């Protein structure tokens, strides 16, 4: 029904922002404990987000503005030239949000008038394999009708900054997982062995198939965050962060706070892994299941509510 659709849409967007904000202070730190994260969660300061949330909001706004258009094809929902410029302008307005080196150069070139297809190969000629396409992609799950459409829109939203196949697979993997999480009732059990196969099918590549097989094994073995990071990776590349985020969700389904702590304790690119894991957990469990004291301190709360309501 409408209430649960809106709650899940809010959960997806607020979960993303909450993971980003809670994870950001721990980026690259090792030995992070549950107590460190809980202290952060229970503080009183405004929770500031990074590039992950900033660009997810740009994508959500882009999708919101194009909801009415007919026919509702992928081309109708995402105007790649416009989206590339909107991402670049968000960077120009707030370049201090923690952007990666490759996209920073691409955005400089795009705002100076270079076509995005050229700009995004200036630093990495084969395209970036960073997780920047995946970290911001979750709002796509709110507008795509089925796995095929979600995958196509995810690719389209990612390719304006990330041309490497692994970055595109990462965006597809995260968007399809978010779509499936939205479709599951919050009370329904989530089993890795059932949840992962349709995601795996959407990323036909030996590297991704292998990573996702390991996600199922690690979920069933109840791996801890350190084992998970050692097995799957926890860095800024898409293949070494998107699977870890999916595992964080599958280890603690129905418990968004536990999912976020798992993601952050895995270390490395903590803002991004927690943002992706938080989007999945929020999409499944809904806004009302997120830790409310932290949610109420999110810097972007107003925009997150606005786009959740539009896109739901
Ligand atoms: O992917 P991107 O937007 O970065 C996202 C990350 C997240 O953790 C955010 O929270 C933020 O901190 O940054 O930005 P890119 O610059 O495209 O890629 C990120 C990094 O991945 C680059 O700075 C490189 O270190 C690495 N990388 C590559 N290295 C070598 N060769 C990406 N592509 C390549 C490559 O082809
Ligand atoms: Mg970031
Ligand atoms: Mg960073
Ligand atoms: Mg990051």
Environment of ion ligand 2 (residues, CB < 5 A): 50-52, 98, 271
Residues 124-162: pLDDT tens digits?
A: 999 999 999 999 999 999 999 999 999 999 999 999 999
Give percent above pLDDT 90 in the chain: 94
Q: Note the pLDDT of residue 70.
A: 57
Average pLDDT value for the chain = 96
Pocket test for ligand 1, best of 116, 157, 236, 269 (most atoms within 8 A of CB): 236
Q: Note the pLDDT of residue 72.
A: 67
Pocket test for ligand 1, best of 101, 130, 244 (most atoms within 8 A of CB): 130
DSSP 8-class letter at 223: -
Kind plus residue range of the DSSP H or E element containing 23: helix 2-23
| pLDDT(215) > 70 | yes
- Tell me the ligand closest to 20's alpha carbon: 2
Q: Is 130 helix (H, G, I), strand (E, B) or coil?
A: strand
Instruction: State phi, psi for 86 to the nearest 5 degrees.
Output: -65, -40
Pocket test for ligand 1, best of 29, 59, 100 (most atoms within 8 A of CB): 100
Q: Give me the sign of the Cα torsion angle 12, 200, 271, 80.
A: negative
Q: Is 15 helix (H, G, I), strand (E, B) or coil?
A: helix
Residues 223-267: pLDDT tens digits?
A: 999 999 999 999 999 999 999 999 999 999 999 999 999 999 999
* C-alpha–C-alpha distance, residues 260 and 256, integer Å: 6
- Tell me the ligand closest to 130's alpha carbon: 1
Q: CA 79: distance to chain centroid?
A: 20
Q: Note the pLDDT of residue 53.
A: 99
Least trusted range by pLDDT, from 70-79, 80-89, 240-249: 70-79
Which atom of ligand 1 is least distant from the CA of 50? 10
| pLDDT(71) > 60 | no
29-50 average pLDDT score: 93
Q: Note the pLDDT of residue 133.
A: 98
The answer to whether the CB of 243 falls within 8 A of the CB of 232 is: yes
Q: Note the pLDDT of residue 294.
A: 96
Residues 41-58: pLDDT tens digits?
A: 999 999 999 999 999 999
Residues 257-301: pLDDT tens digits?
A: 999 999 999 999 999 999 999 999 999 999 999 999 999 999 999
| Cβ–ligand 1 contact at 124 (below 6 Å) | yes
């Amino acid at each position: 029904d409408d209430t649960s659709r809106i709650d899940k849409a809010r959960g997806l967007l607020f979960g993303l922002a909450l993971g980003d904000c809670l994870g950001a202070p721990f980026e690259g730190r090792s030995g992070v404990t549950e107590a460190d994260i809980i202290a952060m969660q229970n503080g009183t300061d405004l929770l500031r987000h990074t590039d992950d949330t900033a660009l997810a909001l740009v994508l959500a706004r882009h999708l919101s503005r194009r909801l009415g258009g007919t026919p509702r094809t992928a081309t109708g929902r995402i105007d790649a030239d416009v989206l590339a410029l909107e991402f670049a302008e968000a960077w120009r307005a707030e370049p201090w949000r923690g952007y990666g080196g490759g996209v920073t150069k691409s955005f400089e070139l795009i705002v100076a008038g270079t076509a995005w297809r050229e700009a995004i190969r200036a630093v990495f000629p084969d395209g970036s394999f960073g997780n920047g396409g995946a970290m911001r992609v979750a709002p796509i799950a709110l507008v795509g009708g089925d796995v095929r459409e979600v995958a196509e829109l995810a690719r389209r939203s990612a390719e304006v900054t990330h041309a490497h196949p692994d970055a595109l697979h990462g965006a597809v993997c995260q968007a399809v997982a978010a779509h499936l999480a939205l479709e599951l009732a919050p009370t329904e059990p989530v089993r890795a062995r059932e949840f992962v196969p349709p995601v795996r099918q959407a990323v036909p590549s030996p590297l991704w198939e292998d990573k996702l097989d390991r996600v199922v094994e690690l979920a069933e073995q109840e791996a801890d965050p350190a084992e998970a990071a050692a097995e799957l990776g926890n860095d800024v590349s898409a293949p070494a962060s998107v699977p870890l985020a999916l595992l964080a969700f599958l280890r603690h389904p129905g418990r968004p706070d536990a999912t976020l702590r798992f993601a952050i304790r895995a270390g490395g690119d903590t803002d991004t892994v927690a943002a992706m894991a938080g989007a999945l957990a929020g999409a499944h469990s809904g806004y009302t299941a997120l830790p409310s004291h932290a949610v109420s301190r999110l810097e972007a709360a107003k925009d997150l509510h606005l786009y959740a309501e539009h896109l739901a």
